[in-house]
Amino acid sequence: MNDQQRPSRSTEAFFGRRKGKPLRERQAEGLASVLPALKLDLQAEAPGKLAELFPVPVHEVRLEIGFGGGEHLIHRAVETSDTGFIGVEPFVNSMAKLVGRVDDLGLKNIRVYDDDATQVLDWLPEGSVDRIDLLYPDPWPKRKHWKRRFVSQVNLARFHRVLKPGGLFLFASDIDTYINWTLTHCRDHGGFEWLAEQSSDWLTPFAGWPGTRYEAKARREGRSSAYLTFRKV
């Protein structure tokens, strides 16, 4: 069975460990008190309009898969307070860091989920999301593990279903094989148009890009990044 036929993959396919070093007391308290209020309830039916997920008016909704340290998600939520953000991250320490920042800043335009992003994608209504960000995902660098990369025909089909007409899929990575993998998979899917017209379009960070700790690490190690933008067609 190829990945176009496979209806789903196990949670373990997309990420490794769920928890790192022990949480500090404040982080643990934040997870216990703040996370329940922010977490999506996938047992309930998704609202017809995703704006209803947020206690403040929002004019569009974006999904960030694997937000890591949360730098980008927090930056975007502060930058565009009239946009609703759904952030998915299974790593406990990263989630604890994010909810702490959300609480400190009093942000009302963020909802989160702390498990497999495919569960959220399958829960979301068709044509409900304006943009999906997949930024520095785990590259699974060994060839034998490439099948565990989040970009696959199955997940691109999920993206295509939940994105609005003309919605965007943004991908960033410093791993050449994953960049080429993503370009090839989007081309083969047929439902995404790569918007680059010249090399500077994919070598230049996205507008308003704050950078991430993963990007900084890549640059310290001598790797450059690519920033790919695809539009649903």
Measured in residues, the chain has a length of: 233
The order of strands in the sheet holding 60-65 is 110-113, 83-88, 60-65, 129-135, 163-173, 226-232, 192-194
d(CA 72, CA 40): 20
What DSSP element (H or E) covers 110?
A: strand 110-113
- 138 given a catalytic annotation: yes
* Residue in this structure with the two tokens 């991430």, named with its chain if needed: 212
Distances, alpha carbon 8 to alpha carbons 5, 154, 155, 181, in Å: 9, 7, 8, 19
d(CA 93, CA 132): 23
Residue 46 half-sphere exposure, CB side, CA atoms within 13 Å?
A: 18
Distances, alpha carbon 63 to alpha carbons 54, 130, 132, 223, in Å: 14, 8, 5, 26
Catalytic residue among 3, 103, 115, 138: 138
d(CA 120, CA 129): 12
Alpha carbon 201 to its chain centroid, in Å, reads 21
Q: Residues with catalytic annotation?
A: 138
